[in-house]
Structure 1
Amino acid sequence: MSTTAVIPDELSARRLLSRGQAVTGTLVLALLVGALTLHVFTGWGPGPIWYGQAAVAIVTAIYVAVIAFKLAMVFGAWGSPVLRFEPSDIDTIPREMLPLYTVLVPLHREAEVLPFLLKRLSQMDYPPEKLQILLLIEEDDDATRGALATIDLLPQFEVVIIPHSNPKTKPKACNVGLEKARGEFCVIYDAEDRPDPDQLRKSVLAFRLLADRVVCVQAELQYWNPWTNWLTQCFAAEYATNFSLSLRGLDRHRLAIPLGGTSNHFRTDALRALGGWDAYNVTEDADLGIRIARRGWDVRMMVSVTEEEANSHLGNWVRQRSRWIKGYIQTWLVHTRHPVKLWRELGTRRFIAFHLTLGFSTFTTLVNPFFWVMTLIYVFTGTQYIEALFPAVVLYLGVLTMILGNFLMMYCLMTGCMERGLHRAVRAMLTVPLYWGLMSVAAYKAFFQLLRPSRRHYWELTEHGLVDHASAHEEETAERPATAPLPALTD
């Protein structure tokens, strides 16, 4: 068994900023303050209005670029050669020829859903003697350990106790599990996951058919309780658009794919060569997808679904979303420490796509409230207070972006709903700007947590088991998602 490499410090989120980033940021801020001060006392150089106009113009250009990129990925999804296997393909590799497969299951305070999880994993269509299912449990998680003590585990299950140490994060637990992994391939499943029973066999077939440079195959995630309330409808539509459209678009153009939190299948040796997951990054999946691309390796999308529980409680949703956004900012900052090196490793197309996928998209979520406030000022007071910030070209482009861009983003979500058969959720997308407002609330929570060293690597736990499985199943059967036909496997 090969040992896991160590992630270089420059690729770890242990520090928020590198020395170069801190110096550059301080220098830019000092120059800006100095220029404004000089203008105030001498009248030399551009004044505050000019800088305000420049900021508005730059942000407007970023909005246009992000929206155009997202549209290109969504509408390019139908030409993506995603991995799709028919039931008859599964038997291509006889059961006796299947390799040992390791399943990593990080658990923390999951006593309530543990029985359902064990039942689902024990029903996977894979030879039990060739399965190594590692239940990764924190040392101080007495509730989960107590619940586990009352259950007779099947031979394929192993309990791994994660020693108490900081940071207490999912990637740290997965790294401990990776050290004990014996499988040729490995995958992560969360406590509430319901993967397709044949997903492991599809993954093995994909890896056998694909080139060695493909080190990860990402299955699609969707929610099994989209009809719980308005929040879960928006969340399900977002996931449908992301996994059934946007990520397929990234796959089609061979751009870096920020992985989903679960159901990403790896070649174990390649994962060890990458150093596993960054224990300090709270979206370790997205970070790992970028590191794979920087190594010159590939990720491919596979048509196999893992169902998860959509957050139906607002507070729980904000905690989860703020952690995701915090991790996106961490990932963007980590990989822009040496931008020229990043550009050389990714290439121009992947370099631009990386910024549009993680950095600029997150930035627009943070600046949205400022533009909403300016829009309200315009509605109630006219142009007298904001006219100076919007030269004609910027004003027209901004209005076009606000009206047409928002409509197109709603249309993309509606398309995602139709792709996944979530027809009843289509009309809810007319109110999705309210959902985007909640995302900005979560973004500012994430931003302020990053400013506090004690909260920078804090893993905000998502509570599972909020929705009863039986009632959700009844709602699901009333309108079961259907998957549209997809292109055949090509490479």
Structure 2
Amino acid sequence: MVIWVVAISIVSASLGILPARWFGLKAVLILLIALMTVSYVGVIWYKSMLVLRGAREPARRGSLRTLEEVSAARYTILVPLYKEAAVLSQLIMNLQSINYPHDKLQVLVLVEDDDLETITALGAIALPNYFEIVLVPESFPRTKPKACNVGLEHANGEFCVIYDAEDRPDPDQLWQALDAFARAPRKVVCVQAELQYFNPSTNVLTRWFAAEYALNFSLMLPGLTRSGAPVPLGGTSNHFRTAILRELGGWDGFNVTEDADLGIWIARAGLQVEMIDSVTWEEANSKPGNWIRQRSRWIKGYLQTYLVHMRHPITLGRQLGVRNFWSFQCMVGGTPLTLLVNPVFWLLTVAYVGFGQHWVSAVFPTPVLYLGVFSMIVGNLLTLWFQMAACMKRGLYPSVKWLLAVPAYWVLMSMAAFKALGQLLNPRLRHHWEKTTHGLVADEHAIMSVPLYGAGQETPTAQIAPMISVPAQRGPSGGEYLLPVAQTRTTVHVLLPAQGERRSTRPLDAEAVGEGAV
């Protein structure tokens, strides 16, 4: 919005609507800095209010009522994989540890058809009969949401959830989600589990990362749900009513932060998200290069989400309402904005300290300067305090002292933001999915064994299973896939992603999202 205001002002000056002398280079710089400062303060204020509201009461936790009280609905688990052979065995064991009737469970393992490494690893594992392998034919875009849309086409559960390759969900999480859906109004179409890291103490980077996650999932997102505001969902452990998810159009296959985007579409339809007090454990990125690839993708997705929804701001404002429109500006637009403008303010601060006031006073009028100083001091202290409070709430006591060096983490975040902006401006990289490498650190609390093909027999467990042919649907040329599977009872599907995917912006009737409680 800052860019829009400046652009409108310059056009107005060029058309004679406003005096041109108001919009020379100096005036434009003053206007830009003033708008960035005001926006920055607004984002800090709003997020502070969310954190305080999120700290008031715990997230919804079900009573885990017996099967007689909550019937086991049909549930689909979507597991998108790409080059995840290193963590595949652990993932299968984590999924098998979920406490849910197997006859009511469908696990769809979504694998790119050219990912021979993961396909071969799947062939060496004895999969249960409620697992199904879905081969995703190569097509553009090559993203996680595109694969999830393919899986959604085959999902037969009344409810569905996404888990990533490194996830270890609470065994009772599906029951917790069902209980939350049963207690919530019908307009609640998604419940988000809390995400935590199983390796917060690997190094200083994982300590900072874990503190950020603690703040986001323990305080920030609960504050959003209690405010009835749009919730940028986490990328995993989102539980949905499947029918409503289909009505919403699934995920945007071109958005590299599809979770946040879908949360906004849910709000635009007049529907809601709730948090549940159930944890999914993930691996915190412990290598800076890998971390920057992951974070730049997240920020690029936020930028994509903001630009897509702001194509028609009046329509967006009408659907969300004034309060939630402001929330969208702060959470989706403000997050990447603050990361991009931080280096600008840092450089101006260095210039002020190193070269004297006259270097910045020309573009920093006194009111803006005071507001900027207030933002720098109070905003940084609040952010530090909130992260420390979140660490204390999660029991991450050893990480608290490392937060005194967290400005170095903010520098990394701004580096990732500028990388994201560069990719967004490059048509070839605009929808490129930066792959995150998993399995860098072992989960010490997880089950570390999985049945392999040939286990208990003389055949070595590392031997690749027999190949079976699966008909392909690649058009007139035909062809076939050769997929190693450990048990012939494992179903293999070949599905094409939907072509020309479009999403309707028509708000669904929150009172008519379907009947039949859990």
Instruction: Give the TM-score of the pair, scaled to structure 2.
Output: 0.82
Aligned residue for 1:177, secondary structure, equals helix
TM superposition shift of 1:49:
2.0
Following superposition, the deviation at residue 45 of structure 1 comes to 4.2
Distance (Å, rounded) in 2 between the aligned partners of 1:247 and 1:175? 25
- Alpha-carbon separation, structure 2, partners of 1:45 and 1:212: 53
Equivalent positions of 1:407-422 (< 5 A) are 407-422=381-396
Which of 45, 51, 62 is the equivalent residue of 1:74? 51
In structure 1, runs of 5+ residues without a counterpart are 1-20, 474-491
- The match for 1:202 is 176
CA contact (8 A) 1:63 1:401 kept: yes
The structural deviation recorded for 1:51 is 2.1
| Cα distance in 2, alignment partners of residues 315 and 355 from structure 1 | 29
Contact (CA 8 Å) 1:100, 1:182: kept in 2 or not? yes
Tell me the amino acid that sits aligned with residue 410 of structure 2: W
Residue 31 of structure 1 is aligned with which of 2, 8, 11?
A: 11
Helix, strand or coil for the counterpart of 2:358?
coil
Alpha-carbon separation, structure 2, partners of 1:228 and 1:472: 17
How far residue 97 of structure 1 moved from its aligned partner, in angstroms, is 2.8
How much does 1:128 deviate?
1.0
Aligned-partner SS, 1:426? helix
- Would you say how many aligned residue pairs link Structure 1 and Structure 2? 445
Other-structure match for 1:16 = none
After the TM superposition, which residues 361-380 of structure 1 pair with which residues of structure 2 at under 5 Å, given as runs? Answer: 361-380=335-354
In the aligned structure 2, how far is the partner of 1:337 from the partner of 1:35? 24
Q: In 1, are the aligned partners of 2:78 and 2:151 still within 8 Å (CA)? A: yes
SS in 2 for 1:281: coil
Unaligned 5+ runs, structure 2: 448-518
Instruction: Choose from 38, 42, 47 the match for 1:65.
Output: 42
- Aligned partner of 1:445 in structure 2 is 419
| Corresponding position of 1:12 | none
Is contact 1:318-1:442 (8 Å) kept?
yes
Superposition map of 1:420-435 within 5 A: 420-435=394-409
| Contact 1:82 1:251 (8 Å CA) reproduced | no
Q: Cα distance 1:349–1:93, how it changes in 2: closer, same or farther (>3 A)?
A: farther
CA contact (8 A) 1:93 1:205 kept: no
Give CA deviations for 1:175-220 in whole Å, capped at 9, x if unaligned: 0000000000000000000100000011111111211111000000
Question: Kindly, what percent of the aligned residue pairs are identical?
Answer: 53
Match of 1:399 in 2: 373
Does the CA-based 8 Å contact 1:80-1:252 persist in structure 2? Answer: no
* Cα separation, 2, equivalents of 1:379 and 1:35: 40
Please state which structure has a larger fraction of its residues in helix: 1
Change (3 A) 1:57 1:24: closer
1:244-263 aligned at under 5 Å gives the runs 244-263=218-237
Counterpart AA for 2:179: L
The residue type equivalent to 1:31 in the other structure is: V
Matched, 1:323 2:297: yes
Alpha carbons 2:255, 2:431 under 8 Å: kept: yes
Q: What is the match of residue 49 of structure 1?
A: 26
Q: When the two structures are superposed, what TM-score results if normalisation uses the length of structure 1? A: 0.87
Structure 2 contact 75–106 (Cα < 8 Å) conserved: yes
Q: Which one of the candidate residues 262, 281, 297 is aligned to 2:271?
A: 297
1:216–1:471: structure 2 CA closer, same or farther, 3 Å change rule? closer
Q: Output the CA distance in 2 between the equivalents of 1:201 and 1:56.
A: 50
Question: Structure 1 residues 328 and 96 mapped into 2: Cα distance closer, same or farther (>3 Å)?
Answer: closer
Residue 483 of structure 1 is matched in structure 2 by none
CA distance, structure 2, for counterparts of residue 165 and residue 25 of structure 1: 39
- Deviations along 1:335-378, one digit per CA (max 9) or x if unpaired, are 11111111110011111001000102211111111111111111
RMSD: 2.2
Letter in 1 for 2:211: A
Supply the distance in 2 between the matched residues of 1:419 and 1:425 (Cα, whole angstroms): 12
Counterparts of 2:108 and 2:4, CA distance in 1: 44
Alignment of 1:141 with 2:115, yes or no, is yes
Q: Which AA in structure 2 matches 1:72?
A: M
Q: 2:294 matched to 1:314?
A: no
Paired residues of 2:234 and 2:260 also in contact (CA < 8 A) = yes
Deviation at 1:34, TM superposition (A): 4.4
Residue 117 to residue 33, structure 1, CA distance change in 2 (3 Å): farther
CA contact (8 A) 1:99 1:184 kept: yes
Whether the 8 Å CA contact 1:95–1:127 is kept in 2: the answer is no
What is the aligned counterpart of 1:122 among 68, 84, 96? 96
Structure 1: how far apart are the matches of 2:401 and 2:58? 30
Contact 2:9 2:23 (C-alpha < 8 Å) held by counterparts:
no
Task: State the Cα distance separating 1:429 from its structure 2 match.
Answer: 1.1
- TM-fit CA distance, 1:93: 3.3
Kept in 2: contact 1:221–1:239 (CA 8 A): yes
* Equivalent residues of 1:219, 1:305 under 8 A apart: yes
Aligned to 1:18: none
CA distance in 1, matches of 2:149, 2:353: 53
Could you say which residue in structure 1 is the equivalent of 2:453? Answer: none
The alpha-carbon deviation at position 32 of structure 1 amounts to 7.7
